[in-house]
Structure 1
Amino acid sequence: MDTFNIAPNSMVLTKHASVYVILKITERCNLACPYCYVFFSDDKTFEIHPATILDDTVDGLIVFLHEAIRNSGIRHVHIGLHGGEPLLLKKPAFRKMCTRLRTALDPVCALQLSIQTNGVLIDPEWVDVFAAHGVNVGISFDGTEEIHNRTRVTKKGRGTYAESRRGWNMIVEAHQAGRIGRPGILCVVAPEQSGRAIYEHFVNELRARHMNFLWPNIHHGAPEATEAFIDGCGDFMVDVCRAWFAAGKKGVEVRFLKEIIGPLLDDEVCRELPSNRNNPFELITVSSNGEISPDDVIRTLAPRFRETGYRVGGSTLNELARSNTWMEVSRAQQILPEPCQSCLWRNICRSGSPQHRYSTERGFDNPSVYCKSLKRVFSYVADNLIRGGVPIEAIERRLAATFA
C-alpha cells in the first residue's frame, strides 16, 4: 500500500498516499469495560457529541475524502467503523451510511470498510448487512470465558462472553461460506493473565486465524505505570510469542508479531519501514458530529488533541498536515527521543506507540513507557528466528539497515 512521503518542514503531502479514518458512528456503548479509554478518561466530549453519527457528518466525510483524493493523491481509503459500540446504530441507518460511502467512494479509490465491535448485538440480519456492503469484522475479546466476564461487562456488571461468542460464531460461519472477509480478534493485554492460555483459547476454541494484542493505553505518569504492571505486560506478550512459535504458526497471523518479524526476514519490508512509520494520517478520528482529531487514543491525552478546530466538509487533508496538532504527532513519529537513537531496535520499535510515550512535561519526547518489555519481546522473537535457522548475520544486517 502506498504511504505518505512528508517534507519535514512543509508537511505537505506528496502523491500516491493512503489514509485510515476511524469513524465514530456511535458515541455510546452497551458495555462498561473498566479500562475503556473512550468513556473512562479525561476526554468527556462523548457527553456532548451526538449518540449516533449525523447524516451531515457522513456527507462531510465524503467531501473531505474526495478533496484528498483529488488534491493529495489518496488512492487507498480504509474507514474503520467504531464507537462506543458501533452496532448501536440502527440497521437502516447503517445500511444507508454504507451505501452512501460505497456509491461515493468506490469509483474514485480503493475503499475498505471494517467494523470493530464487542459482538454482543450481532444477529443474522447484521451478518447480511456486513456481507451486502463488504464490511470486514473484528470482535473484541479479553480471553477465556472466565477472564472475559471479569472485564467486558454490562453496566450492571454482567459478563458478556456468551453473547460475544455467539456473534463471533456467526461471523466465522459467514466467512467460511465465502460471504465476508476473514474476521479478527482484538485483545487488550492483561498483565496478570497467561498470554499463552488466551492465545490457545482464541485459536483452538474460537477458531481464530487473525488476531492482535494491544498494550494497555497508559503513558508516563499514569498511576498504572508501575514496574510490576510493565513487566506483567511483557510477560503476557512473550507468552503469546512462545505459544505462536511452539505451535509452528499453523496459519495464524498475530499482527504485532508480523510487524516485528517482517523487517527481520525481508529486505524489502526493512527498506520500506522508515517511510511506513512516518505517516501522520495512519489514523484520523472523525467524531459523530464531524470533528477531526488524531488517533482515537491520542485525543484522550490532552485537550489540544481533541479540540483541533477541524471538521469534515470544511477542512482539507493538507490543512491538517500544516496544523500544530499534526505537526506535533508527526514529529513524534519522525524524531526519536535521544535515549532511543542508538537502540538496536530503533526503527522496528520507533520508541513505541505515541500514546505510550506521552508525558505532561515532555510531550512525546520520551521512550515508550513499555520500553523494557518491548525489548524483551523483540529479543525473544529474534532469538527464535535464529534458532529456527535464520542466519544471525542476516538479522544483524537488516537491523543495521534500518538506521540508514
Structure 2
Amino acid sequence: MSPATSSPIRQFVLKVASRCDLACDYCYIYQLPDQRWRTRPRTMSHETVDRAAERIAEHARDNALPAVDVVLHGGEPLIAGPELLGYCVRRVRTAAGPGVRVRAAVQTNGVRLNRPFLELFRQLDVRVGVSLDGGPTAHDRHRRDRRGNGTHQTVVRAVRTLAEPRYRRLYAGLLCTVDLANDPVRVHDALTALRPPVIDLLLPHGTWAVPPPGRDPGSADAPYGRWLAAVFDRWHDAPAGTSRIRLFEEIIRVLLGRPSRLEGIGTAPAGSIVVETDGGIEESDHLATTSGAGVTGLNVATSGFAEALALPTARARRAGAAALSRACLACPVVGVCGGGLYTHRYRPDNGFDNPSVYCPDLRHLIEHIRARLLADVRALGHAA
C-alpha cells in the first residue's frame, strides 16, 4: 500500500490510443519535436489497462477518495475500438470496487463517433466530449484528415446524434481551440447552436520559447484576451439557459472568493495525471511542449501514482502560489489567474519561473469580466 498524499490525483487520463486519424496542423502531440509517440504501442494492451486500473484503485483507497474521473484519450481514443474502451471502463470500476465512484468520459475528434459507440457509452454511462472549433470555415482551417479534407460536416453530424434524447445525458460538451483568425462571436454562435451543456475554450499550447500564433512574448498586447472578451460579452448577454463556458464560470467563481475547479485558473493544485499506451506515467501530455518536463520515467507496471507525485515536477505543478514567479506574485490579478497553466510558463533558461506566455491576455480577460460584473451589480443597485 502506498502512502496517502496531501494533494491526491482525482483525474486519470488514459491514452488508450497513441495515433490519430486527423492531421491537425496545430496539434501539440504530433506537430512538435517530441516524437516519442512513434515508439509507443498503437493502443493500450489489456495487461497495461489491468495495471493502470489497479494503480488507480490503490490511489483512491490510500487517499480515501469517494470518486475519481477516468478520461479515455489519445491520439484519437475511438481508434482503440469498442472492445478495448469497454474493457477499460469495466476494469477500472471493478478494481475500484463499490466504495469508489468511477466517472468515465471519452474525448474524441468525433469523426468515428457513431451509434454503435454511443450505445456502448450509454450502456457504461461514459460521457462524451467532442473537439469542434466552430463553424465550417473555423473548424476546417486546422482540423483536417490525412488527405487534407475538412471534417466539420462529419463531426457536426456526430454531435447532433449525441444531442438526441437517447444519448443527451452522455453529452459532456465541446472543446474548442482558440484561433485568432476565427471571428469570436461566430465561433460562439456556431458552438452554442449545437446545445452543448459546456464549452471549453482551449488556448493553443505555447511557451516563451515557442509562443502561440499571434502572441509576441515581448509585447503587452493582448490579442487572445480581446478574443476571449468578445466571446464573454456574447455569452454574458445571451438569454438564460445558453451553454456554460467553463473558463468564464471559473474566473467568476474565483472573483467571488471560491476556489477554481479548472487547471490554469486560480491557485488550486492540479489534480490530473496521464498514463500512456505503454503504461508510462506522465504529468501532462501538453508538457511535451516544454522539452519533456512532464516525463516521470515511471510506469504503472512497477510504480504507483504516489511515487509520481513525489517527483520535483509534480510537486512544482501542484504547489499553487508557492510555485509562482516574483512577477506573478506582484500582479493584482494573481489570485484569479494563478499564473496561468503551468506549461505556458516555460522558458528554456529558467524553466517555469515565469508568468504565463499569455500573461497580458489573462489579465485583460479577468479585468474585463470583473468590470462587467461590477456593472451588473451597479445596475441591480439602481434598479432596487
* TM-score (norm: length of structure 1): 0.86
For the residue of structure 1 that corresponds to 2:40, the secondary structure is coil
Q: CA deviation at 1:324?
A: 2.6
The residue number in structure 2 matching 1:376 is 364
- Looking at structure 2, the residues matched to 252 and 323 of structure 1 have their Cα atoms a distance apart, in angstroms, of 39
Structure 2: runs of 5 or more not aligned: none
The residue number in structure 2 matching 1:55 is 46
For the residue of structure 2 that corresponds to 1:320, the secondary structure is helix
The residue number in structure 1 matching 2:284 is 295
- Looking at structure 1, the residues matched to 33 and 64 of structure 2 have their Cα atoms a distance apart, in angstroms, of 36
Please say which of residues 222-231 and 366-375 is displaced more in the overlay.
222-231
Q: CA deviation at 1:252?
A: 2.0
The residue number in structure 2 matching 1:125 is 116
RMSD of aligned alpha carbons: 2.8
1:47 corresponds to which letter in structure 2?
Answer: R
What's the CA shift string for 1:83-113, capped at 9, x where partnerless? 1111111222222222222222251312111
What's the CA shift string for 1:252-300, capped at 9, x where partnerless? 21000011011223x4548xx99983434x1201000100010111134
Does structure 1 residue 311 correspond to structure 2 residue 303?
no
Q: CA deviation at 1:18?
A: 4.9
Structure 1: runs of 5 or more not aligned: 1-10, 393-404
For the residue of structure 2 that corresponds to 1:351, the secondary structure is coil
Q: CA deviation at 1:67?
A: 1.9
How many residue pairs are counted as aligned between the two chains?
376
The residue number in structure 2 matching 1:396 is none
Please say which of residues 335-344 and 219-228 is displaced more in the overlay.
219-228
Please say which of residues 49-58 and 292-301 is displaced more in the overlay.
292-301
Alignment of 1:173-192 (within 5 A): 173=164, 176-177=165-166, 180-192=169-181
Native 8 Å contact 1:23 1:286 kept in 2: yes
- Looking at structure 2, the residues matched to 390 and 315 of structure 1 have their Cα atoms a distance apart, in angstroms, of 55
- CA shift in 2, pair 1:300/1:54, >3 Å: farther
Native 8 Å contact 2:264 2:341 kept in 1: no
- Looking at structure 1, the residues matched to 92 and 228 of structure 2 have their Cα atoms a distance apart, in angstroms, of 37
Does structure 1 residue 13 correspond to structure 2 residue 2?
no
- Looking at structure 1, the residues matched to 139 and 96 of structure 2 have their Cα atoms a distance apart, in angstroms, of 37
The residue number in structure 2 matching 1:398 is none
For the residue of structure 2 that corresponds to 1:98, the secondary structure is helix
Instruction: Choose from 130, 141, 161 the match for 2:152.
Output: 161
- Looking at structure 2, the residues matched to 43 and 274 of structure 1 have their Cα atoms a distance apart, in angstroms, of 23
Native 8 Å contact 1:299 1:305 kept in 2: yes
- CA shift in 2, pair 1:229/1:246, >3 Å: same
1:324 corresponds to which letter in structure 2?
Answer: P
Q: CA deviation at 1:302?
A: 1.8
- CA shift in 2, pair 1:210/1:274, >3 Å: closer
- CA shift in 2, pair 1:342/1:258, >3 Å: same
- Looking at structure 1, the residues matched to 55 and 301 of structure 2 have their Cα atoms a distance apart, in angstroms, of 5
1:98 corresponds to which letter in structure 2?
Answer: V
Identity across the alignment (%) = 27
Alignment of 1:1-400 (within 5 A): 13-14=5-6, 17-173=8-164, 176-177=165-166, 180-204=169-193, 206-222=194-210, 224=213, 225-226=215-216, 231-265=222-256, 267-269=257-259, 277-280=267-270, 282-306=271-295, 308-331=296-319, 334-389=322-377
2:121 corresponds to which letter in structure 1?
Answer: F
Q: CA deviation at 1:208?
A: 2.4
- Looking at structure 2, the residues matched to 40 and 161 of structure 1 have their Cα atoms a distance apart, in angstroms, of 21
Please say which of residues 92-101 and 212-221 is displaced more in the overlay.
92-101
Q: CA deviation at 1:249?
A: 4.5
Q: CA deviation at 1:376?
A: 0.9
- Looking at structure 2, the residues matched to 25 and 234 of structure 1 have their Cα atoms a distance apart, in angstroms, of 34
